A and B are shown apart, each in its own frame.
Chain A
């Protein structure tokens, strides 16, 4: 029998120690762990497996940013600025229009093409300009569009973070997904409706004077929030915009919830001037194209702070203040996917997962011991170590464990003993073929290797592809299964072999009873 080389013994010992070290935190209550974390040095592993939303309950929201309207607004602005620049530069043109997201400028003659290009460029730096005879076409190229998208998404994420944090949600995950989407994960969230309603508002706040006379171009007809069928004519140009707010808080006035706000210096000055000039006239507070309230100006307001009252509930006042503090989203967001799991289903799933794992473990080790006797016991030990290694790896890499992930672990147990089955069956065959015990064991391990490699690699290929292409539940499953396959190679081959070798040396069996 071959001697077990020192490096192998050290390797096995090291793997086992690391495994146990990373497993232990999962069995210590969270409160205790936090306490220890303060006193123990940083290198002591203290992280436990993080549970997915389907296990701890919570909401998963996928939001899509409306980039079309951002792009449209930008090209609209470019056209307005271009017209201004052309006028200032005294450039004669026969038409300036928008077509397929591009500003099309047709000049009268070719004497001013250079200036016209400059004028277009001054309207928006990122425009790229094509020329076709007297026609100049300015559009945003892919890079400009990408920059715009990146900026919009980054801004949106920042605003969403402020809004979500304002609701007191613990450990939310907010990240970009793909080109124009944002993933929001809210663990333990019982009522996702509140967060959803906070996220779907752009929270574009403006103050307008109510228009005196109807003039189509300068007047905006907007509905009242309390009564959407009634509309009021407002001056299109806002007096104040939400970005002039420095603070907003919910409070009470005569027992009714209101929102008080503070303006920055510029805003305060404008507000003071406007209210002084328009005493006794009504103005309107508009949020996302709805009139919240339209009070009469009783006296000039010059302190830079004021209140919005609008028959709010306490929660509505709180949410409005939060939205105003967090700022407006650069564009509107749509929920394109939502998955919410109640806390009771989550904990039921955790219990179900534990029971299923334990049941599968007992069934399999029972079957292995019955089938292969002493060798079956080795396989059982190897399987147990494999389980610990999966837990350790998940904790180490802070992978998220989901219900499909648990299914992956349970399924891996069935497949992990496959390597042992292959080896043991091969040893059996070799013994039937008349080899001695020692040589049968050696040959068994060796000849089974090629089959084990093939078998595990094909499964690993599906696992990796599932991870790369799959989303959500599929990914969770792929992670645990792939980890389980990798760890099983160590436990089922190397560890089992060492156990068999030690057993051979201690027991010195004359025959193998298989």
Chain B
């Protein structure tokens, strides 16, 4: 009984589908870039600074009324969103002018207002957590986040450069950029909170995507040595097919972990998990379709010795 048993005996011509894949990829990459440029990201307080509170009310609150009431307090744009259960509300308040006392004042005022809406009830409003990030710290976190991103990419690329020929490095960059942009695009599209946890997820997707890609590249290199005359296109197809079972299995076990986290891990890490799940799906797709196919367009030294591609790939795999 195996989920991916079909993957043992497949001989799918993945490379043939590359034009569709490139189109999908182009849409994803340019769509994400456009979203990022025009819509931007919904930065959480980690990056934008401000106050965030998680509140559990005794009964289901009337969110739109509460939103109007709180925004009438003149503290700038206060955003409310349901968080996990329908009695739990996440409140975001922009940084207040006037230093520490102003922040404290703002929190007190908000608390008093919320309390006053539920005074008739026996149970009290519970303030589960509150966070404040000053504007300077927010800027610093943003900067260190960008650093982390740049260093991760440099680190991974450095490793691939060291382990493989440069052509693989180029293909890996394409894949890495593709995967991380897709996740950023998703966050821009859905307007989900982009905070420190999400950034960690993006970086992990970068690592994971390369991990997936490297396994395929490893096999392509092995097959290039083994079949010195086989057309590059067939080497790629053969390698992707041979590693398909592993690619699917590993992505699947990782997805199982993420599903467990999504279902039981609570709301605090939900955005992180969403980012990871999407990233793993995109990463699996890209390591099968994008990474290997882009090798076809890069010049390898032994290209001259290889046969032209023939229309029946099965003939050569044996």
B-binding residues in A (CB < 8 A): 54, 62, 64, 193, 196, 200, 334-342, 344-345, 348-349, 352-353, 355-357, 359-360, 363-364, 367-368, 370-371, 403-404, 406-407, 410-411, 413-415, 417-418, 421-422, 425, 428-429, 432, 450-451, 454-459, 461-466, 468-474, 477-478, 481
Contact = CB atoms under 8 A, between A and B. Distances in A.
Interface in B130-147: 130-134, 136-137, 141, 144-145, 147
A345 B54 contact: yes
A340 B130 contact: yes
Nearest to A379: B253
Nearest to B215: A451
Given A334-B100, A422-B250, A459-B204, 19 more contacts: A335-B100, A341-B129, A345-B54, A349-B266, A349-B268, A360-B257, A368-B253, A371-B249, A403-B269, A414-B253, A414-B256, A428-B8, A451-B218, A454-B218, A458-B210, A461-B156, A471-B196, A472-B196, A473-B200
A413 B257 contact: yes
A338 B131 contact: yes
Contacts of B197: 404, 473-474, 477
Nearest to B7: A425
B99 interface: yes
B137 A336 contact: yes
Contacts of B4: 371
B27 interface: no
A154 B242 CA distance: 61
Interface of B: 1-4, 8, 54, 99-100, 103-104, 126-134, 136-137, 141, 144-145, 147-148, 151-152, 155-156, 159-160, 163, 196-197, 199-200, 203-204, 206-208, 210-211, 214-215, 218-219, 242-243, 245-246, 249-250, 252-261, 263-266, 268-269, 272-273, 276
A293 to B, nearest CB: 22
Given A196-B104, A414-B255, A418-B250, A466 B129 contact: no
17 contacts: A336-B134, A340-B131, A342-B129, A349-B266, A359-B263, A360-B256, A364-B253, A410-B260, A415-B253, A459-B207, A461-B152, A465-B148, A469-B144, A469-B148, A470-B200, A474-B197, A481-B204
A472 B130 CA distance: 15
Closest 9 CB pairs of A and B: A462-B207, A414-B257, A352-B266, A360-B260, A414-B254, A336-B134, A469-B148, A359-B260, A356-B264
Given A340-B130, A461-B155, A461-B156, A421 B207 contact: no
B265 A337 contact: no
Contacts of A367: 3, 252-253, 256
Given A458-B211, A470-B196, A353 B250 contact: no
Given A353-B265, A421-B246, A335 B132 contact: yes
B8 to A, nearest CB: 7
Nearest to B101: A200
A466 B205 CA distance: 12
A454 B215 contact: yes
A165 B152 CA distance: 41
Contacts of B257: 360, 363-364, 410-411, 413-415
Contact of B159 (A193, A200, A363, A458): A458
Nearest to A426: B246
Contacts of B206: 462
